[in-house]
Amino acid sequence: MTNWVPASCTLPTVEQPLRVAEFDALFTEHLTGSDRPDPLRLELVLAGSEGVAGTVDDLVARESGCCSFFTFTVTSAPEQIRLEIEVDGAHEAVLDALHARATTAVAGRGPT
């Protein structure tokens, strides 16, 4: 499941599936749209309230702590959170995998 996690990630291997599951749950429960304006940037739109914004802030803070190649920008507005994720060229494949997981999570929900 986490064979795409780069060696530069300092999150202990045993914890990686748990972190992936946190992102999967966030995407499944709240993702309403995504855009990939360029290969090194992914833009996600999440539905949610202040509680969801806190969850996003916590998750990206922890992810930034172990995977310094990510740059996260979170913009919260009433009922919507925009999450921009950027990586350097050496980590494009990681962003590809994250984008694929987001797409799969939304597809798995079926029509709403």
In a domain, 6, yes or no: no
pTM equals: 0.86
Q: What tens digit of pLDDT does each residue of 21-56 get? A: 999 999 999 999 999 999 999 999 999 877 899 999
Residue bearing the bigger pLDDT, 13 or 47: 47
In a domain, 112, yes or no: no
In a domain, 1, yes or no: no
Instruction: Report pLDDT for 14.
Output: 80
Residue ranges of E strands in the chain: 31-38, 41-47, 71-77, 80-86
Q: Which CATH number covers residue 74?
A: 3.30.1360.40
Instruction: Report pLDDT for 20.
Output: 87
Question: Could you tell me the residue range of the domain that residue 30 belongs to?
Answer: 13-106
For 26, phi then psi, to 5°, come to: -60, -45
* Total number of domains constituting the chain: 1
Q: Report how far residue 86's alpha carbon sits from residue 95's, in angstroms, rounded to the nearest whole number.
A: 8
pLDDT at 75 over 90: yes
In a domain, 37, yes or no: yes
